[in-house]
Amino acid sequence: MMHFTLCADGKATAGGRELLDAWRAQPDAWLWVDLQDEAAISERHFLVDELGLDEHAVTEAQRPRHPPGFEAYPGYLYLLSKPLTSESEDLEFATLQLALFAGPRLLVTRHSQYSRFIASMRQRFAEQGCADESPLTVTAAVARRISERYGKILLDLERRLDEIEDQLFDSKTDRLMQELVGYNTALRKMRRILAYHTNAFRSLRDSFDHTSSAHWHEEFDDIHSLMERFHSLAELYQNVITDLIEGYISLNAHHLNQIMKVLTIVTVIFVPLTLLVGIYGMNFEYIPELKSQYGYFILLGVMSAIVLGLLYLFRRVRWL
Dihedral-angle region of residue 318 (phi above 0 means left; psi in -120 to 50 means alpha; beta otherwise): left
Q: What is the pLDDT of residue 276?
A: 79
- Mean pLDDT computed over every residue of the chain: 87
Residues 271 and 123 in one domain: no
Query: DSSP secondary-structure letter at 115?
Result: -
In terms of domains, do 35 and 12 share one?
A: yes
pLDDT at 112: 83
> From CA 303, how far away is CA 270, in angstroms rounded?
9
Residue 284, pLDDT > 90, answer no
Reply yes or no on whether the pLDDT at 172 is more than 70.
Answer: no
- Given a cut of 70, is residue 165 above it in pLDDT? yes
Q: From the CA atom positions of the chain, what is the Rg in Å?
A: 36
- Cα separation, 28 vs 30, whole angstroms: 7
Question: For the segment 230-253, what is each residue's pLDDT rounded down to a tens digit?
Answer: 999 999 999 988 888 887 888 778
DSSP string computed for 23-91: HHH-TT-EEEEEEES--HHHHHIIIIIIT---HHHHHHHHSSS---EEEEETTEEEEEE-PBPTT--SS
pLDDT tens column, 32-45: 999 998 888 988 99
Mean pLDDT of 184-192: 92
User: Looking at the predicted structure, is the pLDDT value of residue 139 above 80?
Assistant: yes
Among the candidates 250, 284, 303, a domain finishes at 250
Q: How many domains does the chain have?
A: 2
Q: Nearest CA to 124 among 230, 284, 5?
A: 5
Please indicate, yes or no, whether residues 87 and 210 belong to a single structural domain of this protein: yes
CATH number, domain with residue 262: 1.20.58.340
Among 221, 250, 279, give the residue marking a domain's end. Answer: 250
232, 250, 268: which is the final residue of a domain? 250
In this structure, are 24 and 90 located in the same domain?
A: yes
Domain around 274: 251-316
Angle at which helices 295-316 and 214-280 pack, to 10 degrees?
A: 160
- Domain check: are 245 and 256 in the same one? no
Q: Taking each helix axis from N to C terminus, what angle separates 135-168 and 214-280, rounded to the nearest 10 degrees?
A: 20
Q: Give the whole-angstrom CA distance, residue 133 versus residue 101.
A: 16
Looking at the structure, tell me whether residues 265 and 170 fall in a common domain.
no
Same domain, 231 and 299: no
Burial 233-245 (b: 16+ CB within 10 A, else e): bbeebbebbeebb
Question: What is the model's pTM?
Answer: 0.78
Are 60 and 13 part of one and the same domain? yes
> Are 278 and 215 found together in one domain?
no
Same domain, 114 and 172: yes
Residues 41 and 141 in one domain: yes
Give the CATH number, domain containing residue 101: 3.30.460.20
Do 240 and 286 belong to one domain?
Answer: no
